[in-house]
Amino acid sequence: MIELLHEQYESDGSTVLFRCAECGYISLSLGSLHGHIERHRGYTRFNIQVPLTKTAMAKRNALMERTEVLRVDETSEISLEEVEGL
């Protein structure tokens, strides 16, 4: 998936990743992860988000409760062939 607005965060000079607490999906982008988390909750059987309900989109506290923050402390170099999806 191509992200239109790339965002990247650091903690003490190390890259930060965000992980979905429900399924383990990982992203560099907090916004992208929150978009992913929205798919886990609040949709009708027709895949329609119902507005103005407790499951309505953009409830920051609910999204942050489902967000784990990881700091990358160690890295190792790999070949381009080892990267999935390229």
Provide the pLDDT for residue 61: 86
**Structural domain count, the chain:** 1
Asked if residue 45 belongs to a domain, the reply is yes
Give the model's pLDDT for residue 84: 87
- For residue 59 the two structure tokens come to 């409830």
In the DSSP assignment, the letter for residue 1 is -
How far apart, in whole angstroms, are the C-alpha atoms of residue 80 and residue 7? Answer: 23
User: Is residue 77 in some structural domain?
Assistant: no
Asked if residue 79 belongs to a domain, the reply is no
Classify residue 83 by its DSSP letter.
S
Judge whether residue 1 has pLDDT over 70: no
85 domain-assigned: no
Digit-coded pLDDT (tens) for 6-59: 677 888 888 999 999 999 999 999 988 988 888 877 665 666 666 555 555 567
User: What string of DSSP letters covers 10-59?
Assistant: EETTEEEEEEETTT--EES-HHHHHHHHHTTSSB-TTS-BPTTSTT-S--
In-domain check, residue 68:
yes
Residue range(s) defining the domain that contains residue 67: 9-72
Kind and range of the H or E run holding 42: none
